[in-house]
A and B are shown apart, each in its own frame.
Chain A
Amino acid sequence: MARGKAKDGDGNWKKFIWNSEKKELLGRTGGSWFKILLFYVIFYGCLAGIFIGTIQVMLLTVSEFEPKYQDRVAPPGLTQVPQVQKTEISFTASDSKSYEPYVKNLEKFLKDYSADQQTENIVFQDCGEMPTDYKDRGPYSDAQGQKKVCKFKREWLENCSGIQDPTFGYKDGKPCILVKLNRIIGFKPKAPVNDSLPAEVMAKYSPYLIPVHCAAKREEDADKIGTVEYYGMGGYSGFALQYYPYYGKLLQPRYLQPLVAVQFTNLTYDVEVRVECRAYGQNIQYSDKDRFQGRFDIKFDIRSS
């Protein structure tokens, strides 16, 4: 490009593109072009080889089963289902179209939790109906094959299971959301020390439980939320410890993370209500920068007509 400029300031472009005297195309002879191209083919070939080679070597140093570092992903985030576009749930109870995306999203998510998906006993293990302690399943390698996974019964979610009510309460203006703790390999959430908890949570305490509680984000919204129902394992509103630790996609491809369903049965209509849900645990932290670490907030806007 520079050569072009240098040579053809006087508008000699045609000659530059094809110089019939010297048989030069764009200022180079065929042989020269060939050499240049050959050089770059080899040069870039080698570079590509080096690149791929280095990446392969790098991948060898990384374990298949657990990441080398987890300092960026822990402590875990808390998220909700349904997730459509924004963290906002906005519908009209009488208009099934308006809540269809949420329902579909919930249904899709809960499909893996259906009883007929958890029949294979090689994969699934019955971990009881009540929260118990961690279930360690040995080292993070496939030496013993795949690891078993605790069953999670969809029925535990009761009204929010979608079994009786396929619209998850949306048609009655009593929306359900599912709360889950982000999966992190090897992470063992610790149950909270009891005195740090809100009174509502303390009401149903278990030492093997990471409780979840939802409340108004703002003080003034407190009365607009109405009653909040929690459904979970054994009626506890929280994540039972026997589902932890998680062994990763390869060892537990069908891992079911524990859920808590939250149903807002008496939300005020036609106003925006902000709800914040928190999970409580000694190693579950909150951060001002990351609004989804250990908690999340969600906006409800239910229109009456």
Chain B
Amino acid sequence: HKLSASELEEKYGTSINKGLSSSRAAEILARDGPNSLTPPKATPEIVKFLKQMVGGFSILLWIGAVFSWISFGIQFAQGAESPFDNLYLGVVLALVVILTGIFAYYQEAKSTNIMASFSKMIPQQALVIRDAEKKELPAEQLVVGDIVEIKGGDRIPADIRLISAQGCKVDNSSLTGESEPQSRSCDFTHENPLETKNIAFYSTTCVEGTATGIVINTGDRTVIGRIASLASGVGNEKTPIAIEIEHFVYLVAGVAISIGVLFFIISVSMRYKILDSIIFLIGIIVANVPEGLLATVTVSLSLTAKRMAKKNCLVKNLEAVETLGSTSIICSDKTGTLTQNRMTVAHLWFDNQIYSADTSEDQTTQPFDQSSPSWTALSKIVTLCNRAEFRPGQENLPIMKRVVVGDASETALLKFAEVILGDVMSIRAQNKKVAEIPFNSTNKFQLSIHETDDPNDKRFLLVMKGAPERILERCSTIMINGKEEPLDSEKAEAFQTAYMELGGMGERVLGFCHLYLPENEFPDTYPFDTDSMNFPTSNLCFVGLLSMIDPPRSTVPDAVSKCRSAGIKVIMVTGDHPITAKAIAKSVGIISATSETVEDIAKRLNIPVEQVNRREATAAVVNGMELKDMSLQQLDDILCNHSEIVFARTSPQQKLIIVEGCQRQGAVVAVTGDGVNDSPALKKADIGIAMGIAGSDAAKNAADMVLLDDNFASIVTGVEEGRLIFDNLKKTIAYTLTKNIAELCPFLIYIIASIPMPIGTITILFIDLGTDIIPSVALAYEKAESDIMNRRPRNKKKDRLVNEQLAVYSYLQIGIIQSVGAFVTYFTVYAEQGFLPSTLLGVRVDWENNAINDFEDSYGQEWTKYQRMYLQWTGYTAFFVILQVLYLTQGRIIRKLFIRRYPGSWWDKNMYY
């Protein structure tokens, strides 16, 4: 970028007028590859699939299956009579693993697909000069050395060194986070390529003007490409729910294996055959492993994900659903997320009084007092001294939704005027413009001269707007209640106060003045010349001030306060000016009304900033420049000690530092972002939230979730859903674990007391995979408990998905109750068929002996083997049915009626999850 145009031509072997030749371009294309960002490497599908097959409980079940086959092999070799049971069991177990694997894989793939469609972009076209001709080419085919023409509204197709530019402005927000468009020219202005004005970057947008430039970098070698690859370098952290599930799997697997081994030893020492013991072992494993649970969890998560998608949160990664629920810090962008991302008139000052305007999204009228003649004058200036226009053909749209050609503040003024006055364009037509000086940065005002709409009044009206202090300098009078009064020091003081007040609210203030040109000096035919300024530009009449701001979305303050009560810290991270940032933070409640920053305290107590006790300040506004000089300790200190923090003027790198700082506090951090520059932070965050409308693809790729409406309030809904799913998963797991005991007890008693088998292994699988899935999934629909958003976010280390209480509650209380219930049923069935409980104890060996076909029951009747088996199956059925009935009653009745009576009591703490 330091080279001159001709040097560039030489370097890239191109010509500014003719461009590259097609053949040369093809050569370079072959060398450098297409001009596009390489998508992040995807795990091969087969690996993903295999991972599902061996993860979690699958290993245990595989072991069970292998054991079954081994015992089948042994039995078969020994020529036993019915060895096929074990073969089938093994096959069923393997099928279960494979099916749940396929299911989980399918769910995973489905949610990934939603994203894939997202990243598909409309192919971008670029206007290139090649072979001395202008051609439209897909942007992917651009190569270094190509001459590209860009105009307002285009996306910059590559990193471009400008050779010529006319009023070119680019929006670098996706790269640097700066929200103001920046002008671009062909002059080298800065050593740093990122700062210099003669380079336009890939993926940024040209807002207005035209430019021509040479492509200097393409694809991954562009600045944005490098940031994108930085993002893929940031490792993906395990989601909290994945950690919880892993913890749960370990716990249950531990229980399963220890009970299994214990009873293997017991049964061996009770002189069961090794083969039998192995079969018991399989039974115990099968009883203990909640086969259906992982599928249930997946289904529950995807149900929630669906529900969230309806509320405009698109979840990319299923597990991220819950992460949002455990979020304790949200680092939010300002522009677009908290605010409406459009300038709106917020306050007016005329007649020595400040009026506030409605800044909501769908305003149709303005409530302030419009009867003053000063307002009439002011409104005329606002209407006339404005170059913005509505795009034609939008008459049916609400004013706020119409598209405007013009810059942000003019747009705001135009819409403001349209809302109050109605058809602005016809007013302008009635007051024909005769001369105009557009705004520029040296004189800082905009001026236009109009004919008046009163046919009797032949005077010209000169209207001017601009930086208030510059405008005031040019005024000698001020309009109060429609009368011009001399501008004395008292009135100037009033102006200053108002100006400071509005500026202090972080608003952009504009001053307005006018002057009716005397008819005698400026007749109809007077030739106005804007270059020589042959008309007065001083001694004007000051009319009023208007201040504008990008107002917060109306739903945001409520959402922030919800976050507050949910114990979530909301931190604003913005590239904007600290004062604006603070003002917005205050208006949405990120800085609450009563809290003060160190600076505020200093101001109030009239002492230097250094003397303020930092602990007294709950809020902090940290400037990017300060942040740069801070050590990690200082940052941690700020994050710890202030509950309300705003980071202003921050760079993308600093966003990453802030996120890491929060994570060092042990927080689960959610980060919102839209630009490519945000993608490292999005990836680093526990849950990255990208903006669906404003977001760049890189951001969406790096994020776990996409907010389709860019609205902060949607995050809160997401948090609620996330917490709900955690609670509901807890219920699901409690439900599932409970049943484990009721499935396990029969086995243990069967081994120890040698009774006929109360429930078969296949029946257990039936329960786990068949009848159990639906109620478990139904628990995902459970309504939230009322305090869900008034709790603190769960502590990653302490509030586990499965904790001691839950395990104890499920295993030792409800599980035992169910087992007792089931055994009553079991004994009833046997007793009614002729085997009284006392007869059953210790009969296992004879009971299962194929050769004994005259087995005597309590009444002296004799049973064949098959009749006994038939009875045993009846027992299975009864056991199965009673368990189902008990499940039905279990969760709700026991919970609602007996237990949740005294929250916080000893009972609640020790007995209940």
Contacts and interface: CB of A to CB of B under 8 A. Distances in A.
Interface string A280-303: 000000010111110010000000
Interface string B384-397: 00000000000000
A59 B836 contact: yes
B824 A55 contact: yes
B864 A292 contact: yes
B828 interface: yes
Given A182-B854, A183-B861, A58 B804 contact: no
B798 A35 contact: no
Chain B binding site: helix, strand, loop or mixed by DSSP? helix
Contacts of B864: 77, 79, 182, 290, 292-293
Interface in B791-806: 797-798, 800, 802-804, 806
A3 B803 contact: yes
Interface stretch (A12-20, A38-46, A93-101, A129-137): A38-46
Given A44-B816, A54-B824, A291-B866, A185 B860 contact: yes
B852 interface: yes
B490 interface: no
Interface stretch (B87-95, B657-665, B867-875): B867-875
Contact of A6 (B798, B827, B861, B863): B798
A35 B911 CA distance: 11
B852 A83 contact: yes
Contacts of B255: 1
A70 B854 contact: no
B249 interface: no
Interface string B243-254: 000010001000
Nearest to B910: A36
Given A47-B816, A47-B820, A67 B863 contact: no
B834 interface: yes
Interface string B844-872: 00000011111011111111111100110
A131 B510 CA distance: 124
Nearest to A50: B820
A44 B813 CA distance: 9
Contacts of A68: 831-833
Contacts of B834: 67, 70, 73
A305 to B, nearest CB: 26
A2 B248 CA distance: 10
B823 interface: yes
A79 B853 contact: yes
A67 to B, nearest CB: 4
Contacts of B820: 47, 50-51
A86 interface: yes
A246 interface: yes
Contacts of B798: 6
Interface residues of A, number: 53
Nearest to A287: B866
B373 interface: no
Contacts of B500: none
A183 B860 contact: yes
A72 interface: yes
Contacts of A246: 860-861
Given A58-B827, A67-B834, A85-B851, A249 B800 contact: no
Given A55-B837, A72-B871, A182 B866 contact: no
Contacts of A293: 864, 866-867
Nearest to A183: B862
B807 interface: yes
A5 B823 contact: no
Nearest to A32: B910
Contact of A5 (B251, B828, B870): B251
A255 interface: yes
Contacts of B807: 1-2
B906 interface: yes
Interface string B316-338: 00000000000000000000000
A2 B803 contact: yes
Contacts of A216: none
Contact of A2 (B804, B817, B833, B857): B804
A123 interface: no
Contacts of A249: 858-860
Contacts of B774: none
Contacts of A58: 824, 827-828, 831
B824 A69 contact: no
B812 interface: yes
A58 B870 CA distance: 22
Contacts of B859: 65-67, 185, 248-250
Contact of A72 (B804, B813, B851, B870): B870
A57 to B, nearest CB: 10
A126 B265 CA distance: 56
A77 B812 contact: no
Contacts of B817: 47
A292 B866 contact: yes
A55 B860 contact: no
A73 B804 contact: no
Contacts of B812: 40
B369 to A, nearest CB: 63
B862 A292 contact: no
A184 interface: yes
Interface in A246-300: 246, 248-250, 252, 255, 287, 289-293, 296
A59 B831 contact: yes
Interface string A1-32: 11101100000000000000000000000001
Nearest to A47: B820
Contact of B867 (A36, A73, A86): A73
Contacts of B247: 5
A182 B831 contact: no
B862 A184 contact: yes
A76 B834 CA distance: 14
Given A73-B833, A292-B853, A182 B804 contact: no
Given A1-B807, A59-B836, A290-B864, A87 B816 contact: no
A71 to B, nearest CB: 8
B628 to A, nearest CB: 36
A130 to B, nearest CB: 26
A79 B854 contact: yes
A180 interface: yes
Nearest to B807: A2
Contacts of B862: 76-77, 79, 182-184
Nearest to B852: A83
Given A2-B807, A50-B820, A67-B859, A72 B833 contact: yes
B861 A180 contact: no
Given A1-B804, A47-B816, A248 B824 contact: no
Nearest to A6: B800
A120 B865 CA distance: 35
A163 interface: no
A115 interface: no
B860 A255 contact: yes
A62 interface: yes
Contact of B854 (A43, A47, A77, A289): A77
A256 to B, nearest CB: 12
A1 B866 contact: no
A23 to B, nearest CB: 18
Instruction: Identify which of A62, A287, A291 gathers the most chain B CB atoms within 10 Å of its CB.
Output: A62
Nearest to A187: B861
Given A32-B910, A70-B861, A291-B866, 9 more contacts: A1-B251, A2-B803, A68-B833, A73-B863, A77-B854, A86-B851, A183-B860, A184-B861, A290-B866
27 contacts: A1-B804, A2-B251, A2-B804, A32-B910, A35-B910, A36-B910, A39-B910, A47-B816, A51-B823, A58-B824, A58-B831, A67-B833, A69-B833, A70-B834, A72-B863, A72-B867, A72-B870, A72-B874, A73-B857, A76-B862, A79-B853, A79-B854, A182-B854, A182-B864, A183-B860, A250-B859, A292-B865
Q: 4 shortest A-B CB distances, which residue pairs?
A: A249-B860, A290-B866, A77-B864, A182-B862
